[in-house]
A and B are shown apart, each in its own frame.
Chain A
């Protein structure tokens, strides 16, 4: 069946550091790809998405590119802030069925 593997956390970085959170998936066909973010005590909210190969999703300085060849959707940000501390979920969506990764907890130190 469909599955997703993302980087285990927690990831701890200093403010202004470069961030990469790896995500790879296995799925039949070509799912739409999402990153969701969960801030402490809240529900999930969409961070960015890409719906077809080579699309780049971006939001709040975060970016991810839909790589069909490597079935990957790695999340990157050039300069993280303390306010980016949260849990990040990679989430392929095929036929409206989301497979959530286990989440990567990110801590940013001032």
Chain B
């Protein structure tokens, strides 16, 4: 099992460019999540999807969109990147019960110039 995979690992964008971060899991989990990690801030939830076909905003959704393409895949899109979106982005998946762990991907390091 690959677990949670993310692409790309690194990306540099110019302000105003768009891009999509891809995430896939092979653990048959219902729930998937996108977080951003900034120095000294811990991880903050951007969007989550409790099941295929549903998505909900997290703590910091502005400037992002998501798509739950199927049960395995959950993508994060930046339509017009801003320097404030420079961060490390983590995708995670889990059973969604609250009592079980979330499994994290290796992350995407994004720099917006």
The interface stretch among B12-20, B66-74, B97-105 is B97-105
Report A53 CB to chain B, min CB distance, Å: 14
**Known A100-B43, A103-B42; contact A46-B101, beta-carbon cutoff 8 A:** yes
Contacting residues, chain A, for B107 (C-beta < 8 A): 42-43
Nearest-neighbor residue (CB-CB) of A49 within chain B? B101
CB atoms of B45 and A98 under 8 A apart: yes
Is residue A97 within 8 Å, beta carbon to beta carbon, of the partner chain?
Answer: yes
The CB with the most chain B CB atoms within 10 A, among A44, A51, A100, is that of A44
A98, B50: Cα distance in complex, Å = 14
Nearest-neighbor residue (CB-CB) of A32 within chain B? B99
Of the A-B pairs whose beta carbons lie under 8 Å apart in the complex, a sample of 7, sorted by A's number, is: A34-B101, A43-B90, A43-B105, A45-B104, A51-B99, A89-B43, A100-B42
Report A56 CB to chain B, min CB distance, Å: 16
Residues of B in contact, count (CB < 8 Å) = 23
Nearest-neighbor residue (CB-CB) of B96 within chain A? A96
Total inter-chain residue pairs, C-beta < 8 Å: 48
**Known A43-B104, A43-B105; contact A96-B97, beta-carbon cutoff 8 A:** yes
Interface residues on A, range: 20 to 34
Q: Hey, what's the 0/1 contact readout for B65-109 against A, CB within 8 Å counting as 1? A: 000000000000000000000000010101011110111111100
A101, B96: Cα distance in complex, Å = 20
CB proximity to B under 8 Å, residues A87-103: 89, 93-98, 100-103
